[in-house]
Amino acid sequence: MNQYLSARIHRRNSLKLLASLAVANSVPLLTACGPSTKEKKPAKPRRIIVDADTANEIDDAFALARALMEPTFQVEGITSAQWHTQEEAPRDTVGPSQQLNEELMQAMKRLDVPHPIGSNIPLVSPVRPQPSDAARHIISKAKETPEGEKLTVAILGPCTNLASAVLMEPQIIPRLACYFIGLRFDPKQRLWSRDEFNTNNDPNALDVLLNAPGLEFHLMTATTAGSLTFAKAEVDRRLQGKGGVADFLVRLWDNYDRAWQRRVAPTKATWTMWDLALIAAIARPNLAKAVTVDTPPEDLKRPISVWVEIDAEGMRQDFWQNIERWLAERR
């Protein structure tokens, strides 16, 4: 009982600290979801870090490739994440993710982008970070962000690295915009479910971010992203033999082999591109519909932005157009 009360007190004090920092910096919880009707100046490139558990499934690599191809993105980091709950996962899961990140970046000739390794261990509590090179890189880039601007952190796996950065340096919260794929949500009944892979790989880390007042938070749920699928036959037809990242993605799909996949998708004829849906929604807001809802009931009640619908066909065509442009420019 004493340990339980102590943990509750630590968590409450942590939330008070985050709240005081948010109030002191006078940061709104969310920016407007819809476009302005007024004429705008040309937008600055979006400064973005993408955090990925790339060795978990093949959709991470497609999402990373899409981010590195996006002309409106200034990619300031590709960081690696753990995925320890997957069946047949090795003891070191962040290492294979890091290796694939580097292989993909080499295939795209983008090793100039910083690519620090993340934590191999999830948070053991919502008040204790797991320091890593990835978390320190997020902190450094957030501190470089000019006042009034935000560093986008797109999380394709568990939230371990960003949550650790926030716990290590809470003052960076006003300079961050978190984009996460995880959880499940029924928009009609406004019902949440945590029975989802990224969520289960570090539930404490997700709670840190949801319970951080002032942290801009955008969510692509697994419910919504599940409608974006790619067919292996089309991937082969469009990419095979094209060299560089094209052949890298084909080989990755060919060589993927996991016990769960052998049971449910032995032919690998199609794949759900969960993570690509998040990157596409950030790059092309017209391809996704977001609403503002309250956080899950067990977390600090505050509004967050949740995508509830995507144009899956539009996202597929957007990917093909961009990778074809990328390959054509490098011939």
Residue 14 pLDDT greater than 80, yes or no: no
**For residue 7, pLDDT beyond 70:** no
> Predicted confidence band at 43 (pLDDT cuts at 50, 70, 90)?
confident
- Range name among 8-12, 218-222, 311-315, 318-322 with the lowest pLDDT average: 8-12
pLDDT in tens, 59-72: 999 999 999 999 99
* pLDDT tens, position by position, 215-230: 999 999 999 999 999 9
For the chain, the residue count is 331
Q: Residue holding tokens 């009944």?
A: 189
Q: Which two tokens stand for residue 291?
A: 């609403």
Write down all domains in the chain, each with its CATH number in brackets: 2-25+44-329 (3.90.245.10)
Cα separation values, 98 from 42, 78, 86, 174, 329, Å: 35, 9, 17, 28, 27
Average pLDDT in the 239-246 region? 97
What the block records as the tokens of 313 is: 């066909």
DSSP designation for 45: P
- What confidence category does residue 36 fall into, taking pLDDT thresholds of 50, 70 and 90? very low
CB 104 within 8 A of CB 64: yes
127 backbone dihedrals φ, ψ, rounded to 5°: -120, 5
